[in-house]
Amino acid sequence: MSSQIIQDKHLGEQYIRVEHPSGLTMLLYPMPGFSTTYAMFSTQYGSVDTCFQAKEGGEQIRVPEGIAHYLEHKMFESEDGDAFDRYAKTGAAANAFTSFDKTCYLFTCSGKFQESLEILLDCVTHPYFTKETVEKEQGIIGQEIRMYEDDPNWRVTFNLLDSLYHNNSVKVDIAGTIESIARIDADLLYRCYNTFYNLHNMVLTVSGNFDPDEALQVADRVLKKAPPFEAVRRPQQEPESVVRKRVVQHLPVALPMFYIGFKSPDAGQKNNFCNVIFDEMLLDIITGETTELYRQLYNDGLINGSIYGETMAGRDYLCSMVSGESRDPDEVYRRVCSAFEQVQQNGIDPEAFQRVKKATYGRYLGLFSRPDSLASAMTNCHFAGISVYDLVEMVANCTRQQLEQRLREDFSTGNSCLSIVMA
């Protein structure tokens, strides 16, 4: 077992990185003075991983959409009962989620840390699937899919992704479809689990009030050495262009909802993740509540409140979105595109740059005062191949010229789309 202390002298912070003999990377961030502890056990396996080879040169395997999410649902079950019943005895609050690129299992506790961590590691490393339990879960997940089909917020988002991407699986609902989950059985679940729930493809992050030695003791007791991780992912080839410029769906909403999306060139997992920081700063500079664009939209009655900017990225995708409600989404789209084109032509205002840089720097510093946010950031950074301290450094060293380059590369109005949900 090897371990090292990762320090940042400027921040006065440090954490422990452990390469456990099992193959698992452990990132342990004690935070003295905090009352709670947050633990997250994650695999780099998400909804987009529907085509892969279990090993180099092996057969190409294509699995139904939604299987990663299906696995998440089943991992809390065991032959002896439900993991939530075990957590109830420790007082920990447990949860899990599946994203496009990863699946995470987590808990927060204010005591009995070792007992709760043992439950987490044990249930995720000991799958239990039967024909009966898998079939039962289809009905539960099917209800979840049907619920989201009628959710305006969900639909306006995925209609946008479906319009931005031709082939990338990010366009498909994380839960899959009614038709795709009907093809999932216990054998398929075990096949995906044995491929991607390999400890070499996983990370455990713990932050808050805990003793790192106690975490290591649990890992030593529960985890067995994993074979090398050999899976090869086979993502679909994706054109630079968007599928369509505009999509509308009719659902009962009081005011039309809109999502404006900008499809960025894929720069690889690490660069995509890092570019999120810069693209979010650009969204704030151009569409934030202190901007001229926002004031004009509000004064002209085109928005009734806030508009929101967000960026999402993964191993082979990056896109930014602006969302809100409006009586005239098409006019909002026209003005948003015009605002981006004007800044591309004229450059970023120096004062706006400094304001957003300071605000972003403060936001990332805030990670180190919240155990849950810190553990999540450490997970994302690990899978991207960087340290959580690199996030702060990138903001601190960011230049206006760097942002202007990102603006030209990531916000082409020609590769944009408008998604609308209206009555």
Instruction: Please measure the distance between the N-terminal and C-terminal CA atoms of the chain and give it in whole angstroms.
Output: 59
What the block records as the tokens of 1 is: 């077992």
Distance in angstroms (rounded) separating the CA atoms of residues 64 and 175: 10
What the block records as the tokens of 297 is: 């939209």
What's at 357, amino acid-wise? Answer: K
Q: Which helix (H) or strand (E) holds 151?
A: none
- DSSP codes, 325-376: E-S-HHHHHHHHHHHHHHHHHH---HHHHHHHHHHHHHHHHGGGG-HHHHHH
Please name the residue that has the structure tokens 């690990």.
Answer: 382
Kindly name the residue from 65, 72, 137, 325 that is annotated as catalytic.
72
Question: Within a 13 Å sphere around the CA of 216, how many CA atoms are in the beta-carbon half?
Answer: 15
Considering just the CA atoms, what is the radius of gyration of the chain in Å?
Answer: 22
Which residues pair with residue 26 across a beta bridge? 18, 204
240 is catalytic: no
Distance in angstroms (rounded) separating the CA atoms of residues 417 and 215: 47
Among residues 37, 201, 2, 206, which one has the least CA distance to residue 110? 37
Residue 267 has φ and ψ, to the nearest 5°, of -115, 15
Q: Which helix (H) or strand (E) holds 416?
A: strand 416-422
Please name the residue that has the structure tokens 């001229």.
Answer: 292
What the block records as the tokens of 378 is: 């450490």
Sheet holding 60-62, edge to edge: 60-62, 51-53, 232-233
Distance of CA 392 to the CA centre of its chain: 19
Distance in angstroms (rounded) separating the CA atoms of residues 243 and 194: 35
**Distance of CA 381 to CAs 12, 41, 223, 235, 417, Å?**
19, 14, 23, 21, 29
Residues with catalytic function: 72
